[in-house]
Structure 1
Amino acid sequence: MSRSADNMEWNASETIAQFSVGFSALDLSPAHYRLCSRALIDTVAVAVAGRAEQASRLALRYAEQQGGVPGATAWGADVLLSIEHAALYNGIAGHVLDYDDVTSPLRGHPSIALLPPLVALAEAQDKTGEALAVAFVVGFEVLCKLARCMVADHYAKGWHSTASVGTLGATVACARLLGLSAMETRHAVGLAVAQTAGTRANFGTMAKSFQAGNAGAAALRAVLLAQAGFTGAPDALGAPFGYMDLYANGEDPVATLTELGRAPLEMDTSGFEIKKYPLCYATHRAIDGVLDLKREHGIEMADVKGVEIIANNRALVPLIYPRPATGLEGKFSMHYAVVAALLDGRVSLASFQDDAVQRPAVQTRLAMVNAREDEGAQSPRWTVVRIFMNDGRVLEKRVTTLRGAANCPLTDAELIDKARDCFAFSAMAAHADGFVDAAMSLRDRKVRDIIATLGA
């Protein structure tokens, strides 16, 4: 729906700013704090697991070379960086494995956009976990509401919504944590729009994780400049030639943004989808289906003639590597996901080492997988897996429920197991339980004390 003339005087940026300053900690329940704790555990754990990736090592070296006033921790590196560079590094390390959480309205990863800048700011300013949680909910609310009105075509066009929408949510979250006024928040939104970018062409490369990390760094830059008196457009979101005109298709955000903060919150209706597997979420239903069929029928790779994956319309858009040659490319390949699941009986962090993807046993079988989209509706989402056996049987499974999704979440025990695996993968197993325990009591802790549990 395009903006009508009746709405031209309505100010989207001001609406968001008023929501940010007016939202109260009294609006949060214990369940909301628990969700925030789970998001923090998952995000930091996958960043710790990603610290040895080349992109992370290069980002840390860059951040250390830039200097600045040390204020926040590089997770898993036990190094203090400037808050902007800590957000950049932690965002890169937390996204490079593509193992961080997702939310459906965004078609992307909310916590990696929100938490690296929020935690860096909270650590530097000795904020409480309660203050962090309130700001996180504010940012998540803005991010999801914006996405609801414009992200489908925006993402299909090629934008990386984790960055291109996430920067705006992160900016409002940081503005709330920093205590900016409505006017300062509006200027911060303008400064965020000035920096917002991110393209899906960079998927399968280091630049994808950079886009996520840069979202947090840009958000901090926007709020700190706004706090210092730097100004932006009165409504860089909704005005002519603003964000909605250029990044979206001129959709009218009134209906969604006027719902900001009204119960039920996006935390309740959208929630977080915590990944079971460390690759693009678009593959996960297929992996579940393949692993289920393999387990139910005792399938061995030598028995398989071919595999067909059929998914709902636009479900496979991010999967741009039918013949991946590297671990990063493998994270955006339905073909590799299926072959790895059949060949190894699992899809794990080790599946995305370059040598795992480059195995002849994998490369020679990629062509046996055919993946296509149905021409029908985009939702509800589903995937059909068909495995064609050499003996003529066709084994089929339709997967609708996504394990780890908001309506089928990982249990706390499963999340803790994932966190422990991430810490162990990065040779930091000794720190896992201390961090998890501290993060689970987020509301009653200082953020600085929680992050201190990651120390060497």
Structure 2
Amino acid sequence: MNKEQQAWIGASAAIGQFVENFQPDTLSEAHYAAVYRALIDTVSVAVAGCHEEACTIARGYLAGRRASQHATCWGPGIQLPIEDAAFQNGVAGHVLDFDDVSSPMRGHPSIVLLPALVALAEALDKSGRDLAAAYAVGLEVIVRLSRPMMSDHYAKGWHSTASIGVLGSTAACAKLLGLSVKQTSNALGLAVAQAAGTRSNFGTMAKSFQAGHSAACAVRSAMLAHHGFDSAPEAIDGKYGFMSLYADGESLAQSLSLLGKDKLELLDSGIEIKKYPLCYATHRTIDGVLDLREQYGLTLDQVSHVEVTANYRATAPLVHASPQTGLEAKFSMQHAVAAALADGYVKLRSFRDENVRRPHVQAFFSRVSVHEEAGPAFPRWNNIVVHLKDGRHFEKRVTMLRGSAEMPLTDEQLFDKASDCFSFQEVLDPSEFLEMAMQLRDVSIRQIVAALPVVDN
């Protein structure tokens, strides 16, 4: 490696330095001329095209956003245009990394489905039955798309919650809006045009942005298609489509041919409700560490080091070995183990910055080793060995995961989790919302949203 390579600070930092340091007086008259020429050309062409059908449709969609189509921002209770509400609620629902999971997707389905669907359903006064049907459709599309492509797609660094979720959420919104086959195809093409999301952003605010952005994109795609905006019918599986660009050209024929002909994924692969508010890749280890701690009365001070071994690609999202913030700690096996041993729990408060930075917790990070074994990526498992300073060690292998489709949380455990989440914002009684949500089949979405407590700023 030469000195120039050693000094390389990375693309984002290099761009940032350029942006910060660039001075306007660098520009000559010729530069200004080039810019005003571009300005004249661009605006002139836009004026010429302003009454083309695509522009007319776009203005109609935007007029609807500005007019009566608004939805509620969950918590603060303010009204926003539906696309903005979907974005805001998507960010809020993903930032704690406590939202549910789909194993085939290797991502979080509800956070791209429900902010979009609830915003649309509230604005258009749809029923709980309408929303449930749309959710089932969206999850089905997510899982059927995920199965052929997920392993390599995720391993390459795509954030599948966003990159695949936007397609499923768009299909769900299309169902809720009653779009035709052609309109749904157009909506999906528009979703492909916006699909994105990188695992590089894990541990930052941008991860939750990616989820919120995908929910908003789904609303935008479906609404534009509803107004008549078109796209390429081969945007997903054409030569230059999603499967070629985002995957490895895997065929979707077998998986998608089962749509509507097989058991619904809503129950078959299931929705996995998280027990702990951090990356799912840590949960088996947390279960094991907490079990060993309780069984043998362990404390952090007694432990020399901990070895965690997992199956192939199981720990890919865990990118922060020495986290300094709560967001980073949500993608750290080291913090998961240290917090579980130190406190006997892993809860929302475990990820306050000051709790992550506790000296005894920080000092323990280097004592947690994480390894993957070669072999199949499924079924998932974690093996935990806790070594004590007195020479003893305790070991536990965890295959079943609390909160998974095979070992789901009970309703009582779910309500306890919900109450903990509301109390985190000092809302003590969410009972009206919980009761109304359980009546989904028989009420409107407006009724459910109206029952949400308002959180003070």
Report if the CA contact (8 A) 2:113-2:172 is conserved: yes
Task: State the match for 2:438 in structure 1.
Answer: 440
Letter in 1 for 2:307: E
Mapped pair 1:183 → 2:149: no
Report if the CA contact (8 A) 2:274-2:403 is conserved: yes
Letter in 2 for 1:325: Q
- The equivalences for 1:277-426 within 5 A come to 277-426=276-425
Letter in 2 for 1:108: G
Task: State the match for 1:126 in structure 2.
Answer: 125
**Matched residue of 1:104: which SS?**
coil
Task: State the match for 2:143 in structure 1.
Answer: 144
Could you tell me the TM-score, scaled by structure 2's length?
0.84
Report if the CA contact (8 A) 2:312-2:374 is conserved: yes
Distance 1:262 1:309 in 2: 41
Task: State the match for 1:201 in structure 2.
Answer: 200
Change (3 A) 1:355 1:373: same
Distance 2:423 2:267 in 1: 32
Letter in 1 for 2:452: L
**Matched residue of 1:231: which SS?**
coil
Deviation at 1:267, TM superposition (A): 1.2
Distance 2:328 2:350 in 1: 12
Distance 1:184 1:75 in 2: 30
Distance 1:132 1:268 in 2: 17
Report if the CA contact (8 A) 1:188-1:225 is conserved: yes
Letter in 2 for 1:150: M
Distance 2:69 2:360 in 1: 48
Choose the corresponding residue for 2:449, options 448, 451, 456: 451
Distance 2:415 2:263 in 1: 27
Letter in 1 for 2:356: V
Distance 1:263 1:257 in 2: 10
Distance 2:70 2:301 in 1: 55
**Matched residue of 1:377: which SS?**
coil
Letter in 2 for 1:437: E
Distance 1:228 1:332 in 2: 41
Structure 2 gap ranges (5+): 1-64
**Matched residue of 1:105: which SS?**
coil
Report if the CA contact (8 A) 1:310-1:385 is conserved: yes
Distance 2:426 2:231 in 1: 45
Deviation at 1:69, TM superposition (A): 4.9
Deviation at 1:184, TM superposition (A): 0.4
Distance 1:262 1:418 in 2: 35
Deviation at 1:391, TM superposition (A): 1.3
**Matched residue of 1:407: which SS?**
coil
Distance 2:98 2:322 in 1: 21
Task: State the match for 1:4 in structure 2.
Answer: none
Q: % of aligned pairs identical? A: 56
**Matched residue of 1:147: which SS?**
helix
Report if the CA contact (8 A) 1:68-1:81 is conserved: no
Task: State the match for 2:90 in structure 1.
Answer: 91
**Matched residue of 1:396: which SS?**
strand
Q: Quote the RMSD (CA, aligned, Å).
A: 1.0
Report if the CA contact (8 A) 2:69-2:124 is conserved: no
Letter in 1 for 2:91: I
CA deviation map 1:54-111 (0-9, x unaligned)? xxxxxxxxxxxx9775510000111010000000000000000000000100000000
Letter in 2 for 1:383: N
Could you tell me the TM-score, scaled by structure 1's length?
0.84
Letter in 1 for 2:117: L
Alignment length (residue pairs)? 390
Deviation at 1:262, TM superposition (A): 2.0
Distance 1:455 1:345 in 2: 31
Report if the CA contact (8 A) 1:70-1:80 is conserved: no
Letter in 1 for 2:349: A
Change (3 A) 1:183 1:148: same
Task: State the match for 1:33 in structure 2.
Answer: none
Report if the CA contact (8 A) 1:103-1:273 is conserved: yes
Runs of 4+ residues deviating >3 angstroms? 66-70
**Matched residue of 2:324: which SS?**
coil
**Matched residue of 2:240: which SS?**
coil
Distance 1:377 1:198 in 2: 26
Deviation at 1:420, TM superposition (A): 0.6
Mapped pair 1:244 → 2:243: yes
Structure 1 gap ranges (5+): 1-65
Distance 1:426 1:189 in 2: 37
Task: State the match for 2:264 in structure 1.
Answer: 265
Deviation at 1:177, TM superposition (A): 0.1
Deviation at 1:263, TM superposition (A): 2.8
Letter in 1 for 2:447: D
Deviation at 1:302, TM superposition (A): 1.3
Report if the CA contact (8 A) 2:427-2:453 is conserved: no
Deviation at 1:264, TM superposition (A): 1.2
Distance 1:417 1:97 in 2: 17
Distance 1:125 1:323 in 2: 47
Change (3 A) 1:359 1:227: same
Mapped pair 1:76 → 2:67: no
Task: State the match for 2:22 in structure 1.
Answer: none
Structure with the larger RCO, 1 or 2 (CA within 8 Å, 6+ apart): 1
Deviation at 1:426, TM superposition (A): 0.8
- The equivalences for 1:203-218 within 5 A come to 203-218=202-217
Task: State the match for 2:61 in structure 1.
Answer: none
Task: State the match for 1:153 in structure 2.
Answer: 152
Letter in 2 for 1:435: F
Distance 2:324 2:265 in 1: 38
Change (3 A) 1:68 1:327: farther
**Matched residue of 1:385: which SS?**
strand
CA deviation map 1:185-204 (0-9, x unaligned)? 00000000000000000000
**Larger mean Cα displacement after TM superposition, 433-442 or 67-76:** 67-76
CA deviation map 1:328-364 (0-9, x unaligned)? 0000000000000000110000000000101111111
Change (3 A) 1:207 1:110: same
